């Protein structure tokens, strides 16, 4: 059976680029393109065997995160990865809460996107956010959750209780986050993460 990928993206040049990357990762894939939300809905209805959706939340025919919410409500088991520029009003955390299976920033390099797509194909949740042209930060869902709890000002002990892990593991997560965002303390890391859209305002 042919592996079908739906690319929902209104910018033709970027859509063409994504098609090339998908075929590089999956040479035998059948790529279906949609330039607006109506076309995406029609494609999903016509091809119930679509195995992956690469979805830009800013697409004609729907507002904000409503498109993501609608697709995941109709097709909850369908893997969907948002491929978009980080939007401070629509953070990565919100996308994950609405059911997105990952996020890839449009500003990521070709090599990063290819690796992310391969990871997605292996069933991993991939989160790659752009960092002003620098090497993108790739966070696990657990790290994103830790960031959100840090933003609430919770100490390690409370974060550990919320995540059902040990305080030592939380310390490791926090240390990793400081390195990822090149920060000296939690407050700086939270500010940087918020700027990049990894956590809610």
Rounded to an integer, the average pLDDT of 9-23 is 93
Global confidence as pTM: 0.73
* pLDDT for 135: 52
Q: For domain 4-138, which architecture applies?
A: 3-Layer(aba) Sandwich (3.40)
pLDDT per residue as tens digits for the range 52-73: 999 998 899 998 789 999 999 9
Q: DSSP string of the chain?
A: -PPEEEEE-S-HHHHHHHHHHHHHH-TT-EEEEESSHHHHHHHHHH-TTEEEEEE-SS-TTS-TTHHHHHHHHH-TTS-EEEEE--BTTB-HHHHHHTT-SEEEETTS-HHHHHHHHHHHHTT--EEEEEETTEEEEE--HHHHHHHHHHHTT--HHHHHHHHTS-HHHHHHHHHHHHHHTT-SSHHHHHHHHHHHTSS--
The pLDDT score that the predictor gives to residue 1 is 57
**Of residues 97 and 172, more confidently modeled:** 172
Q: What per-residue confidence (pLDDT) applies to 153? A: 92
pLDDT at 26 over 70: yes
Q: Where are the domains of the chain?
A: 4-138, 141-196
The CATH architecture one would assign to domain 141-196 is Orthogonal Bundle (1.10)
Task: Please indicate whether residue 200 or residue 21 has the higher confidence score (pLDDT).
Answer: 21
| Percent of the chain clearing pLDDT 90 (strictly above) | 50
- pLDDT tens for residues 112-129? 888 888 888 888 888 887
pLDDT at 133 over 50: no
């Amino acid at each position: 059976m042919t592996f079908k990928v739906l690319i929902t993206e209104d910018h033709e040049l970027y859509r063409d680029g994504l098609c090339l990357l998908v075929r590089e990762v999956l040479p035998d894939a059948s790529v279906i393109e949609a330039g607006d939300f109506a076309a995406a809905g029609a494609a999903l209805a016509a091809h119930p065997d679509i195995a992956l959706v690469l979805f830009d939340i800013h697409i004609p025919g729907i507002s904000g995160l409503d498109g993501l919410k609608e697709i995941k409500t109709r097709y909850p088991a369908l893997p969907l990865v948002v491929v978009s520029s980080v939007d401070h009003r629509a953070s990565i955390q919100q996308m994950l809460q609405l059911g997105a299976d990952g996020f890839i920033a449009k500003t990521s390099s070709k090599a990063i996107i290819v690796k992310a797509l391969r990871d997605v194909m292996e069933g991993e949740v991939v989160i790659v956010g752009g960092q002003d042209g620098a090497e993108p930060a790739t966070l696990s869902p657990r790290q994103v959750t830790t960031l959100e709890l840090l933003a609430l000002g919770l100490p390690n002990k409370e974060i550990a209780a919320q995540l059902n892990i040990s305080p030592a593991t939380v310390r490791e997560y926090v240390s990793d986050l400081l390195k990822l965002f090149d920060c000296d303390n939690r407050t700086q890391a939270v500010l940087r993460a918020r700027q990049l859209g990894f956590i809610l305002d």
